[in-house]
Structure 1
């Protein structure tokens, strides 16, 4: 059970606990949040990365520092005779890259600004968090069911 201080600051040491209904609602909210994260954010990101698996390969130069897992990393490369600046999507590699590093990317032939690191086009960078988030959603949904039926189980075992 989760314990929360009563906030009185007194020395009596009393503690309040979350009741069954609060635990039920908290579990349901967490299940919905993790489920929504998995289905609405992480799964589409993995699909987007997989869609670039048959993209055109090219060597690019990093234009920003840091890990690209949350997105926002820029790369530049030549496509169709012109210099292209593309933003790597969220879920692109967890390794921190530096400005000037040469990286292998794949891009869409019809829109070179849509690119991803070649090592990430299998979708694994975003697929693993999607599976973990989905598993957490199932865990919290089962926990909510357990809390919902706990009073019924107690009454049945007593009677």
Structure 2
């Protein structure tokens, strides 16, 4: 059994968060604004295989974009059981946290690739361009799902607002 469950409740402080759709050949990245309202996909990253270069990239991302934490997509099977890639994503998450000194949590990424492909299907892009964008769109979907799951109630989101009682005669002229 995988150990990813220990990451699921890791708190991430207020601020910008980056999501990573981890893959051996391609990594999708998305980053949200500090208020965690809008997530934006970033260009797909091809891992170099050079750990120092990867560390430099993620450290630079943290510094330049003021990233306070990471969400890594967790690739589990449809029934929720661990996949071979779950273990790799876990290893990557541990490495990412140690490398950047930022908290890392997971978000279930089931069907994000299918959803990303559906979003790209009608755009008239070549197969290569779709492939290059699919991982970043998947990271965007992962981050959006995480933001929705961790959103604070905002005015207008069904939160009851207490009105102070009217003083008797206050509206009488």
Same fold per superposition (TM over 0.5) = no
Which of the two has greater helix per residue?
Answer: 1
In which range does the TM-score fall when normalised by the shorter chain? under 0.3
Larger radius of gyration: 1
